[in-house]
A = this chain, B = another copy of it.
């Protein structure tokens, strides 16, 4: 891709996530291998970030591609008031990463730490794009084709006007990362016919019909993985429940499948023959391939990685983030909301 030529710097919180810092720095190493025009601003304790910046994994033809930002504070996964912690812990790794974006030293930041802390850092430090009422947390779901689901938890209570903005921002993200010219938008609802749904869904339908480009109407829960639209919009309560229900059902089903495949010696033999195909199936369902969830609507990229992110998931998050920057996500959102 031509756009890969454009150099991008992503700030990375080395401390976020269940397997930090090792999964994070391994992910950074993978991303650097795959994208030769990527630079990383690695934020974390001296004993983590300095040796990595000096290591062969961090070096390209022109020297180190990793800048070490030594930080001394941390925001825990179970921090009771993450927004307050983001305000008060000026030297926390995630706060420093977000500040690098605000100051222009990086174009985006990623953290596998507490989602609430990421949202707070994105909103309070990086700041909203002009005209954005509330940033929205989007997720790209696997399925028959990738689908941008938003909001997935940043805004538990929504008004119709917010959902209309989420649709525009979701479209911009689909354009910037999925290579779609004119992504279609659907409203998640409890019936496909017009006039169905909760008060919020009914009012949103009316508004979207008027304001949302390429609005294809309502879709139901069962249509999500069928790729019924490129962008599916809902409030953050419903979206978060959907996301976790999908996660849970995949986990449950793959777990039971594994049990079935190992229950007898004959089954184990048969499973060996199927290994390749089952691996393929699993990878098709693997949210890791889409990396991290972007908080759309902030001035610069803010990527929330899953707490249990593997190095592969971190690497994909960083790479998708670099693509979004190169394809001018922030500019696209600004234009979409200004029009």
Chain A residues near B (Cβ < 8 Å) = 143-144, 153, 156-157, 188, 190, 197-199, 201, 220-226, 234-238, 240-253, 256-257, 260-261, 263-264, 266-267, 269-271, 273-274, 277-278, 280-281, 284-285
Contacts of A273 in B (CB 8 A): 266-267, 269-270
Q: Are A225 and B198 in contact (CB under 8 A)?
A: no
Residues of chain B within 8 A (CB-CB) of A284 are: 256
Cα A78 to Cα B260 with chains together (Å): 40
Question: Is the CB–CB distance between A260 and B281 below 8 Å?
Answer: yes
Ordered by A's residue number, 28 sampled pairs between the chains whose C-beta atoms are within 8 Å are A143-B252, A153-B190, A156-B197, A156-B201, A190-B237, A190-B244, A197-B237, A220-B241, A221-B241, A221-B247, A222-B245, A222-B248, A224-B245, A225-B248, A225-B252, A226-B248, A234-B241, A242-B242, A242-B245, A253-B285, A260-B274, A266-B273, A267-B273, A269-B270, A269-B273, A270-B270, A270-B273, A270-B274
Question: How many copies of this chain?
Answer: 2
Chain B residues positioned under 8 Å from A199 (CB to CB): 156-157
By the criterion CB–CB under 8 Å, are A256 and B281 in contact?
Answer: yes
Asked if A277 contacts B267 (CB within 8 A), the reply is yes
Measured between beta carbons, the chain B residues less than 8 angstroms from A266 are 273
- A82 → B minimal CB distance (Å): 12
Q: With a CB–CB cut-off of 8 A, which chain B residues contact A252?
A: 143-144, 225-226
CA–CA, A201 and B237, complex, Å: 9
> Which residue of chain B has the shortest Cβ distance to A115 in the bound complex?
B191
- What chain B residues lie within 8 Å of A201 (beta carbons)? 156, 237
Q: CB distance B244 to A260 under 8 Å? A: no
Q: Is the CB of B237 within 8 A of A223?
A: no
Q: Min CB distance, A114 to chain B, in Å?
A: 11
Complex Cα distance, B260 from A302, in Å, reads 37
A276 to chain B, nearest CB (A): 9
The answer on a CB contact under 8 Å between B190 and A240 is: yes
B277:A261 contact, CB within 8 angstroms: yes
Cα-based distance from A66 to B188 in the complex (angstroms): 43
